[in-house]
Amino acid sequence: MLPQSDASNPGKGRLVIERQWLALTLHRMHAEWVRWSLWDRSAGVLTSVQTVSANPSRMRRLLAEWSMAGGVDWRRLPFHPQVNPVMAKVFEQRQVVAAPWFALSAGIIPTTVTFQAWQQKYLRYGVAAPVVINGRVAGLLTWFDGEPFDAQRQKLARQFGGQVSTRWESTDLAVDPITEAGLMQAADRVRQEIAEILHGHVQTTLLVAAERVRSCAQNLEGVDPAMAIELQQVFSMLEEVREHDIRMLSHRLHPGLISVGLRAALLSLIRSWKAAVEIHLEVSPSVAAADAPMHNQIPQEVCLALYRVVEEGIANAVRHGHAQTVSVAIWDEAAGIGVAIHDDGEGFNPDRLQRGLGLSTLAARVSQMGGQWHLINHQDLPGSELAAWLPLERPSAMVEAAGDQPNRPFVTSC
């Protein structure tokens, strides 16, 4: 979120919210569409600054259709609180309001357009949260969905609105209120939530379904053998999805073993790649001592960041470098922890290297933790190396285990 106006004069400038942050709120709210608008009280206009939809192409088509049908300029909507008692609670009483679309839009957009919107089953309800700056409502966050917004989602809306208000009114306006670190932490929380749902509810549901299919197959063995065989095959497919696919996706989203320790999580990751590549893991004695399962002294966010670096390095080595062997080394170095992933693959062309989502996310994660990273080709060896270093105040176990042992240099010979 980037402040671009004087906070003492709310509503006159533009407060831009990053699309990533809005998208995260959309996911947390389980909504279809989120809209961020600024309110110019004197002009009586709601100006749309940013919108994010779960289905952008469909949303663009609908907005175009509604604009043609009702002559609506969605970027600038006329609004005065007195024309809409429901929205007046937001702007005059600073309340979070959840209501059907037609109640939120009365007096703001034409009735014909409201009716067309109501016909879209995924946009029938909304929840609006005010953004208060210097004691006055300066903007509005609105989410839309096909189902009414319950108390939990209304609470989230209030929290999101409050976050924007608090950050905007902070004394240090030069700092981006929704920081890269905040986005990364929020993304990690979302990953963990999805992983827990997959590992818990989804796996349990599939187990129940599989058992019912197997029961039906057993009952049909003497009546319809062919159908019984087919149902048994369906049972086997469900078990494969439950035991392999769901478990793998859950672990990829968030490695549950990271709470035990970095080495435990990495060994699990390595096992998931065993059919595709041979991987060797080397952890220095000092890091291993600090990473002990019973008395782990390495912060979990550091462990997770190192895990993501290794995960990206292995994936790149196999998918792009076509490597046969990958070596992973982790050691303590200069008040931090270093990690290097070396492969024997084809390497890469530096002139044609394009940073995709994986490397961009890795760079953001390492940077926001104050670390360093590099991706290089070796001159005298096949393949490439992805390496990173993250700062860390050395735990006591790491200091004791390291003793006078030489540390591995961060930049390896190449």
Domain of 41, CATH number, reads 3.30.450.40
Same domain membership, residue 20 and residue 135: yes
Token readout for 30 is: 């389980």
What total number of domains does the chain contain? Answer: 3
84: three-class secondary structure by DSSP: coil
Q: Locate the DSSP E strands across 176-295.
A: 278-283
Give the pLDDT score at 388: 93
The total of other beta-carbon atoms located within 10 Å of residue 403's CB is 8
Measured between alpha carbons, how far is 21 from 392 in angstroms, rounded to an integer?
28
Same domain membership, residue 275 and residue 249: no
Same domain membership, residue 158 and residue 244: no
Query: Domain range holding 216?
Result: 183-253
Asked, for residue 19, whether it belongs to a domain, the answer is yes
Asked, for residue 408, whether it belongs to a domain, the answer is no
Asked, for residue 409, whether it belongs to a domain, the answer is no
Asked, for residue 414, whether it belongs to a domain, the answer is no
Same domain membership, residue 171 and residue 51: yes
Give the pLDDT score at 284: 92
Q: Do 132 and 138 form a contact (C-beta atoms < 8 A)?
A: yes
Asked, for residue 122, whether it belongs to a domain, the answer is yes
CA distances in angstroms from 369 to 45, 96, 271, 302, 391, listed in the order given: 41, 35, 28, 8, 8
* Of 207, 234, 253, the domain-final residue: 253
* Of 221, 236, 253, the domain-final residue: 253
Same domain membership, residue 158 and residue 204: no
Dihedral, CA of residue 22, residue 28, residue 33 and residue 39, to nearest 10: -50
Same domain membership, residue 278 and residue 395: yes
Measured between alpha carbons, how far is 262 from 337 in angstroms, rounded to an integer?
12
Q: Do 65 and 58 form a contact (C-beta atoms < 8 A)?
A: no
| Residues 57-84 pLDDT 10s | 777 777 777 676 666 677 778 877 778 8
pTM over 0.85: no
Q: Do 114 and 137 form a contact (C-beta atoms < 8 A)?
A: no
* Of 253, 273, 300, the domain-final residue: 253
Give the pLDDT score at 126: 92
The total of other beta-carbon atoms located within 10 Å of residue 262's CB is 28
Measured between alpha carbons, how far is 255 from 304 in angstroms, rounded to an integer?
8
Give the pLDDT score at 356: 64
Token readout for 29 is: 């709210």
Beta-ladder partners of 390: 337
Residues of the chain with pLDDT under 70: 1-18, 66, 68-72, 167-190, 192, 199, 251-252, 334, 350-357, 379-380, 394-414
DSSP 44: T
Token readout for 65 is: 């259709």
| Residues 219-255 pLDDT 10s | 998 899 999 999 999 999 998 888 878 877 776 677 8
Which residue type sits at 74?
W
Name the percent of the chain in helix, strand, coil, to the closest 5: 50, 20, 30
Same domain membership, residue 40 and residue 144: yes
Measured between alpha carbons, how far is 207 from 241 in angstroms, rounded to an integer?
10
Same domain membership, residue 170 and residue 201: no
